[in-house]
Amino acid sequence: MELINNQRVVAYLRVSSEDQQERETIENQVEFATKYADLHKLEIVDWYKDDGVTGTIPLDARPDGNRLIEDAKAGKIDLVLIFNMKRLGRKARVTLDAVYQLEKYGVKIKSMTEPFDTGDPVGRFIITVLAGQAELDRDTTLEVLWHGANRAARKGKWLGGIVPYGYRVNDEGYLEINEDPLPGKEDMSEAGVIRLIYDLIANQKWTTPKVADYLNALHIPTSYSKDDRKVKKGKRKESTAGIWRPGRIRNMVINETYKGIHYYGKRTNKQRELIPRIVPAIVTVDVWDKAQQVLKENQIEAFRNAKRQYLLRSLIRCGTCGLTYHGTAYPDRKTKVKAYYICGGKTSYRGPYQGKCTSKNLPAEWLEERIWESCVSFIENPGEAMQELAATMQVQISKKEDFETEKSLIMKAIQDKDNEKQNILDLFRRKVIGSSDVELQFQKIEQEKLALQQRAREISEKIDEETDLADKFNSLQQLLTGLRDKLHGDMSFEVRREIVKTLVKEIEVHTEFSSGERKKPTASITTHYNFQG
């Protein structure tokens, strides 16, 4: 790098997708930085551009941000020019961490549009304030957008995301039924495929694997293959196989959108209000309900027709990928079929490992015998668990009183929120505030009220738990008496299954590999019981 005025100057530029929509593009920042450097007689010797990258992730997690840090670490940079503080980060923690990472390698940071640099104590103080302001601006913007999105959702508008198969979004932003012919299938539309799926399941009682095979035989394109959409695998996006799978068929059949109702906000991980909205129905409510019943009946029939009944079905969870183990059978070296429990993440169409879960298969007979013996031992010798449960009762009584006090305070706060609404309406009638202010304040009050109501429900559940503790202790004694009677009665599979489901909450399997050359996996089993103290 060349030395200009004894400083090696670079520029770090970043825009996110939201910034691009507001015309704050990388090109604008390049143009501004070039003019700034000319004005101050500086030469920018390298450019670091993160285009379309969010400012909420750390600097070293961004492509050019990481390159910037590596070059700073190598001693190639003296001064970094940024357009403004928001370019470093949209969260205070991210911004200040970026400053720290660069400064520890002797690099100074200067904003081209704000009166500070990190070369003096005042500048470092200002950067802390601006970082907090940037986060406040982002949070405020998100809140405004969130309220606006909720208003649009209540009106029935589609606000982005993957449009359900069988629908499209019209010019006004609303869902409508898609009757356009499919590519290569002029006599079939997406909506027609949906009606066919529901007819095969609801009226002809087909299973989801049979429906998937039928659609694949007809070469009906899936949504991903029709729209040439890709799925993300690691850091890459790849095309899908373009085939119908039983799980996909089931998800479509249980989707309430097809009977005319869609819940906005259901897919987000954040706590937010679910907004029901009416959309055009592709099938009738009766057909939709009938399909749900057939799905349940098919599941029951599948269990009934199984060659082997698995005692621990649905109770085993994989500690590697988090999916549930299921039963299957393989022939051993002597061609004798042997039953195993295997992780669902090993199948080709399930799990975050995409068929590559490394968990160990468990011999069904060995595991079932081990769990059954522990259940029998618990039923016949429950003393220690009973003592632990009894010891916790006195502690829980004081907790119940605290919960009841908190709940009374919350209920009063909820009532006060209604009074706040009335006060705002009074201000509106006196023309102190406008209608937009009323709407904004009502939204804030409603949000606060929902949070209080949620907390009140949580406390009510905790109060119920504490109230039922003594009853639970008594019911455990009664339960154990009943289970002892069953142990000496008809020990059919159904009875054993009932006993196991009553006592066992979850069986967790952790797979470990040895450090030797063969790296043979070993499994450790942790059993969680419903009546542990």
Active site residues per annotation = 16
Q: Which of 299, 277, 301 is nearest to 173 (CA)?
A: 277
Q: Residue 173 has which token pair?
A: 């932003």
**Is the dihedral angle over the CA atoms 395, 396, 398, 399 positive or is it negative?**
positive
Token look-up 């929120």 returns: 417
Whether residue 428 contacts residue 440, with contact meaning beta carbons closer than 8 Å, is answered with: no
Question: What string of H, E and C letters represents the secondary structure of 374-430?
Answer: HHHHHHHCCHHHHHHHHHHHHHHHHHHHHHHHHHHHHHHHHHHHHHHHHHHHHHHHC
DSSP string of 234-269?
Answer: TTEEEE------HHHHHHHHT-GGGGTEEEETSS-S
Cα 90 from Cα 17, distance rounded (Å): 13
- Residue 250 near residue 208 (C-beta atoms within 8 A): yes
In the sheet that 44-51 helps form, which strands lie side by side, from edge to edge? 44-51, 9-15, 79-82, 108-111
Distance between first and last Cα of the chain:
67
For 427-438, b/e burial (b = at least 16 CB within 10 A) is eeeeeeeeeeee
In this structure, the number of other CB atoms found within 10 A of the CB of residue 444 comes to: 14
Q: What is the DSSP letter of 148?
A: H
Q: Which residues contact 451 (CB under 8 A, 6 or more apart)?
A: none
Coil vs helix vs strand at 309: coil
> How many angstroms separate the CA atoms of 101 and 117, rounded?
15
Distances (CA, A) of 229 to 18, 237, 323: 22, 9, 26
